[in-house]
Structure 1
Amino acid sequence: MAFSVLLPVLLALVANAEPGSAYNLRPTIGILSQEPTDDILDLLEDKNYTSYIAASYVKYVEGSGARAVPILINQDDSYYEKMASSVNGIILPGGSVSITNSSAYGLAAQKVYEHVVKANKEGIILPLWGTCLGFEIITYLGANYENWLEGCLARNKADKLTLQIGFMDSRIFDQMPHYVIDYVSLWKTTVNFHDWCITPENFTKSGLIEDFKILATSFDYNDLEYVALIEHNEMPIFGSQFHPEKNPYEWANDKEHSAIPHDPFSVGVAHYFSNFFVNQARYNNQHFATKKEENEALIYNHDTTFTGELGSGFTECYFFR
C-alpha cells in the first residue's frame, strides 16, 4: 500500500521537472537548529547543549533522496550567507521559542530568510519551507517583522485541509495527484501542535496576501479558522502550520501525541510534501566549496539521542554544543 501511494507521487514530481534543466541528483537540505527548552534539557544528564534538531526533520528529507546539513544558531552573518549559498534548500522547523530576534532561532531564521529572498531575486532557485513555528516566522518576516498571530487551541489535533479558491494555481497542488488531494481534503491526514495561528483575516490585513497564496485552512478545537498552508506567489517559499514530518517519523506513545496519524494515507501525504520540497531543491545546483567541506557539514557527523525513551515528544534528537 505504501509503495502504491508513493510511486505515482514520485512519477508526478519527476514529470514536472523542467525540460533541459540542470537537475541536481545530490541535493542537500539545510535544517535550522534551535535552542533546547528546559523541558528537553531536564531529560538529559549532559545539559551543555546550545541547540538541537528533531531527527524527524532529517529523516523527512533523507526519505525523499536528500542529505541533511544542520544550520546552527548563534553564528555570525558570514556563516548564514555561506550556508545559504552552499545548500540546495532550507527548512525552518517547528519548536517552542520566540519568532522574533529575541530568540537565537528567531534571529538565525531572519538571516536565513533574508538570504533566501536575496538569492531568489537574483535568479537562484533556493526553496525554503517553514513548519509550524517556521511557518509562523515566515508570516512574521513576510509581514515586515510584525506579529499577526493570535492564540488558538490546536495542540495534538489531526485535521483535513479546507482547500481555498485557486489552490490549484500553485506549485504544491499543480503537481499533487488527484487522489492525494482527496486524502488531504477529505481525511484527517495532517497533525497540528500549536498554540498560535494566523487567521485568514489577519493574513489579509497584514499585507501577506499580496505576496503569498493561502492554499488551505484548518480549524482549532474552538472552530477558529486559521491558515494551514501557504506558498509565495513568485519565490519557492512554502509554509505549513501542520507537521508532515511527524506522520512517518514521530512515535511518542502518550495522550499528548495520540493524534499523530500513522495510517498509509497520512504517511503518503507526508511523503508527497517531502518529495515536493526536495524536488524543488533539485533545481538548485549550489554546493560546498570542496568535498571535504561538504562532508564536514553533513548531519552524518553527529549522533542521535533516543529522547523518546526519556519522555520527550520527539523520538530522536540531534544535539549540538
Structure 2
Amino acid sequence: MKIIIFLVLLIGINYSLNLNPVIGILTIPSDEDYKEYPSSQYSYFAASYVKYVESSGARVMPIPYEADEATLEKYFSQINGLLLTGGTLALETKSGPSKYLQTVTYLLNKVIKANQSGDTFPLFAICLGHQTLHFILSNKDYDVLSPASGMQRVNKKLIFTDKKSTMFIDLKEQIFKSIETQEQIYFNTAWGVLPNYYQTHSELNNFFNIVAVVEDQKGVVSIAAAEAKQYPIFSFGFHPEKPIFEFKTPSQHQQESIQFGRNLINQFIQIARENNHILKDSNSVIFKYNPIQLDSASFAQIYFFKLGELNI
C-alpha cells in the first residue's frame, strides 16, 4: 500500500510541472559599437542567450527594457522565469535612474513578491545583471561596484565557497576540480562586487549567499556567483553561455566548462517548470525574429529590436 501511495505522489509531482516553460530575456539599449543600430532606436541581446535557454527545453520571450509597468505586468504573467544578460550601460544618468535600472528594479520586486506568495519564479542574472542586482539590493550604493583589474575577455579559475548551491546540483567532483584548477570560466567586466561589502551592507548579506569567488589580475577577490537565501535568484559575474555558443571571443570550450554552464541553465529551467504562468500570446516568443551577424560584434549573432517593436 505504501509503495502504491508513493507512486501516486510521484505521478502527481510529474504532472504538476510545467512542461512548456517560457523564459523572459530582458533587452538592453544597443551598444555604441553598433553604428547601424543606435541605442536611440534599438535594443538588443546576443543570440547565445536564446540558444542557452532553448538548450534546456524552454522557449524565449524578449522583454523590452523600455516598457512601462503595465506592459511589464503582462509579460510577467506569461513567463516562468527571467534572465538578465550581460552588456555595457550606465545604470544611472544625469536625470536619474536609467530606464533599464528602473525596469530591473520593478521586475526584481515582482520576482521577490511572487516567491513570497508561493509562486515559484526563478531569476538568472549574468554579468551586467549580476552587477545591477547588487546595486539595487545595496540601496543603489555605487561603492558596492569595485574596479576589477584584468577581468575583460579573460578566462579564470573559480574558488567555490559552497558546492551545495542549487545551481551546482548534479555536478560531479571532477567538474569542480577542473574549474578550480584550470582557467575555463569566461569573464568580461570592468567591475566586481567584493565579498567584504556583504559585511558593510547587511541587506546584501541577508539576501545572498556567496557560492563562488574569483581573483582578478592583482589578486583582489570578487564574487563570481551568489544565490539568494530565500528565493530562486541566481547571480553570476561570469558568462556561462559563452563556452557553449560563442566562438568570436577567447572563451574556453573544454568539456568541463561546457558541462558546468549547461548544468547552471538546466537547474534554472527545472525550477521554472514549477511556475504555472500560462503563455497566452505565442506570437510574442522569439521565433518570429531573426538574429543577424555583425563583423564588428564579439557575438556570433545578435537580435536587434526597434524601440516599441516588442509588444504583448
TM-score bracket relative to the smaller structure: 0.7 to 0.9
Give the whole-Å Cα distance in 2 for the aligned partners of 1:303 and 1:195: 30
- Preserved contact between residue 188 and residue 238 of structure 2 (Cα < 8 Å): yes
Whether 2:193 is the aligned partner of 1:198: answer yes
Q: What is the one-letter code of the residue matched to 2:119?
A: I
Match of 1:37 among 31, 52, 57: 31
Name stretches of at least 5 consecutive residues in structure 2 with no aligned partner: 1-9, 307-312
Whether 2:121 is the aligned partner of 1:126: answer yes
Residue of structure 2 in register with 1:223 after alignment: 219
Give the whole-Å Cα distance in 2 for the aligned partners of 1:106 and 1:56: 23
- Preserved contact between residue 212 and residue 233 of structure 1 (Cα < 8 Å): yes
- Preserved contact between residue 97 and residue 103 of structure 1 (Cα < 8 Å): no
Q: Secondary structure at the residue paired with 2:263? A: helix
Give the whole-Å Cα distance in 2 for the aligned partners of 1:266 and 1:314: 18
- Residues 231-287 of structure 1: CA deviation (Å, up to 9, x unaligned): 0001000000000011111111xxxx32x1012221111111111111111111111
Q: Secondary structure at the residue paired with 1:97? A: coil
Shift of 1:318: 0.5
Q: Secondary structure at the residue paired with 1:304? A: coil
Match of 1:266 among 257, 262, 279: 257
Give the whole-Å Cα distance in 2 for the aligned partners of 1:45 and 1:91: 23
Alignment of 1:96-245 (within 5 A): 96-100=88-92, 102-147=97-142, 148-153=144-149, 154-164=151-161, 167-207=162-202, 208-245=204-241
Name stretches of at least 5 consecutive residues in structure 1 with no aligned partner: 1-16
Moved more, 182-191 or 193-202: 182-191
Q: What is the one-letter code of the residue matched to 1:91?
A: L
Shift of 1:311: 1.9
- Residues 114-163 of structure 1: CA deviation (Å, up to 9, x unaligned): 11111111110000011000001111122223231111121011112101
Query: What CA RMSD, in Å, does the superposition of the two structures yield over aligned residues?
Result: 2.0
Count of matched residue pairs? 290
Give the whole-Å Cα distance in 1 for the aligned partners of 2:246 and 2:163: 30
Query: CA distance change for structure 1 residues 102 and 144 in 2, over 3 Å: closer, same or farther?
Result: closer
Give the whole-Å Cα distance in 2 for the aligned partners of 1:140 and 1:45: 28
Q: Secondary structure at the residue paired with 2:222? A: strand
Give the whole-Å Cα distance in 1 for the aligned partners of 2:27 and 2:284: 14
Residue of structure 2 in register with 1:11 after alignment: none
Give the whole-Å Cα distance in 1 for the aligned partners of 2:234 and 2:23: 14
Residue of structure 1 in register with 2:13 after alignment: 20
- Residues 88-137 of structure 1: CA deviation (Å, up to 9, x unaligned): 11001011012346333222111111111111111100000110000011
TM-score normalized by the length of structure 1: 0.85
Give the whole-Å Cα distance in 2 for the aligned partners of 1:232 and 1:176: 19
Give the whole-Å Cα distance in 2 for the aligned partners of 1:37 and 1:301: 23
Query: CA distance change for structure 1 residues 280 and 183 in 2, over 3 Å: closer, same or farther?
Result: farther
- Preserved contact between residue 189 and residue 269 of structure 1 (Cα < 8 Å): no
- Residues 35-91 of structure 1: CA deviation (Å, up to 9, x unaligned): 012112x2x378874200110100000111111110002111011122222101100
Residue of structure 2 in register with 1:275 after alignment: 266
Give the whole-Å Cα distance in 1 for the aligned partners of 2:263 and 2:166: 13
Q: What is the one-letter code of the residue matched to 2:122?
A: P
Shift of 1:173: 2.7
Moved more, 263-272 or 67-76: 263-272
Q: What is the one-letter code of the residue matched to 2:24?
A: G
Residue of structure 1 in register with 2:6 after alignment: none
Larger radius of gyration: 2
Give the whole-Å Cα distance in 1 for the aligned partners of 2:147 and 2:18: 41
Query: CA distance change for structure 1 residues 131 and 75 in 2, over 3 Å: closer, same or farther?
Result: same
Q: Secondary structure at the residue paired with 1:38? A: coil
Q: Secondary structure at the residue paired with 2:147? A: strand
Query: CA distance change for structure 1 residues 18 and 79 in 2, over 3 Å: closer, same or farther?
Result: farther
Residue of structure 1 in register with 2:86 after alignment: 94
Match of 1:81 among 54, 73, 82: 73
Q: Secondary structure at the residue paired with 2:28? A: coil
Q: Secondary structure at the residue paired with 2:141? A: coil
